[in-house]
Structure 1
C-alpha cells in the first residue's frame, strides 16, 4: 500500500486501461460500473454515474456487462452487481463499492481520484 495525495492506494490492485475497459480512460478519473442485464439497481446506478460524469470535466463512465467479461470479473474479485470502481487518471483503483451509490458518495470518491 502507498499513500498518494492523502489517499491509500493498494499497490497490488491491477491497473485498468483501454484494453480491459474497451475504451479510453477519462483525463482525470473513470467510473467503472459492473452490471448484469436483470439487475434493477444497475439501471439507477447507470443514471447516477452518467450524471456525475457529465457534471465533472475529465471524468468518463464505463459500464461493463459482468456476464460478458467473466475473466475480468474474476481478476478484480467482483462479487455483486452493481459494483463501481473509481479509477484515477492512470487506471489505479482508488475506491470500490457494491450496491447502488448515492450521487454525493460518487462525487466524494471522485475527490479522492483527482
Structure 2
C-alpha cells in the first residue's frame, strides 16, 4: 500500500510540475503585476462561416442615458457590439475608430452598441463626451447579463472585445482585444451586410 501511495504522489507531483511549464497568456498577464486592470486580447479575429453560426443572441439592458435597449431593436440589421469600460487604455485608443465606423454605417444596414462592463452612467457619459461617441452603451456592471448572453458562442474573454452579429442576430465575427485596423472591422461589417 505504501508503494502505491508513493507512486501516486510522484505521479501527481510530475503532473503539477508539467502543468507549471505550460504557457498561459492570461496567467502571465496576471503574474506580471502591471495593475493595468484588464486582460488584454491579442487583436485576433475569429470569423464564423454562415453555415456554422449558432442561435441568435438575445440580450437587453439599460443604457447610460437610462433607456431600455434590446437586441430585438436591431432585428434585420448587422449589429456591432463592443465590450468596454472607461479606464481601459485599449478601449480609449479604439474609441475614435469605432465612432467613425458607426457614423459611416449609420443608415446603411449596421448599427453599433457598446456594453460597458465596469462603469456607472456618469463615467460612461463622460467617456462619450470626451471621445465623441454617439451610439448607446448598455451598462452591464450589475449582473453581466449581456456578457453572459455571448458566453456559449464566442465569449468576450478580454476587454475590449468587438463582436459582429449578422442580420439574424448570430455571431459572425469577433475581434478579441483592441481594434488595430478600422479597415478590418469595416470589412467584417460589410461582409455581414452583403450576406
Q: If the TM-score is normalised by the length of the shorter chain, which range does it land in?
A: 0.7 to 0.9
CA distance in 2, matches of 1:32, 1:43: 16
Further displaced range: 88-97 or 61-70: 61-70
- What secondary structure sits across from 1:45 in the alignment? helix
Q: Of Structure 1 and Structure 2, which has the larger fraction of its residues in helix?
A: 2
Root mean square deviation of aligned Cα:
2.4
Q: Which residue of 1 aligns with 2:157?
A: 79
- Structure 2 counterpart of 1:15, from 42, 57, 63: 57
Q: Residues 14 and 90 (structure 1 numbering): CA distance in 2 closer, same or farther, change over 3 Å?
A: closer
- What secondary structure sits across from 1:16 in the alignment? coil
CA distance in 1, matches of 2:188, 2:163: 10
Please, which runs of 5 or more residues in structure 2 have no aligned partner?
1-47, 63-68, 119-140
- What secondary structure sits across from 1:95 in the alignment? strand
Aligned residues: 107
CA distance in 2, matches of 1:36, 1:91: 23
Q: Which of the pair has more CA radius of gyration?
A: 2
In the alignment, is the contact (CA less than 8 A) between 1:33 and 1:46 conserved in 2? no
Q: Residues 61 and 78 (structure 1 numbering): CA distance in 2 closer, same or farther, change over 3 Å?
A: same
Task: Name which structure has the greater RCO, CA cutoff 8 Å, separation 6+.
Answer: 1
CA distance in 2, matches of 1:87, 1:49: 15
Q: Residues 30 and 73 (structure 1 numbering): CA distance in 2 closer, same or farther, change over 3 Å?
A: same
- After TM superposition, the score normalised by the length of structure 2 is 0.48
Correspondence 1:25 to 2:81:
no
Q: Of Structure 1 and Structure 2, which has the larger fraction of its residues in strand?
A: 1
- Structure 1 counterpart of 2:187, from 91, 108, 111: 108
Please, which runs of 5 or more residues in structure 1 have no aligned partner?
1-6
Q: Which residue of 2 aligns with 1:44?
A: 93
Tell me how far 1:31 sits from its aligned partner. 1.0
Moved over 6 A (4+): none
Tell me how far 1:13 sits from its aligned partner. 4.9
Q: Which residue of 2 aligns with 1:98?
A: 176
- After TM superposition, the score normalised by the length of structure 1 is 0.76
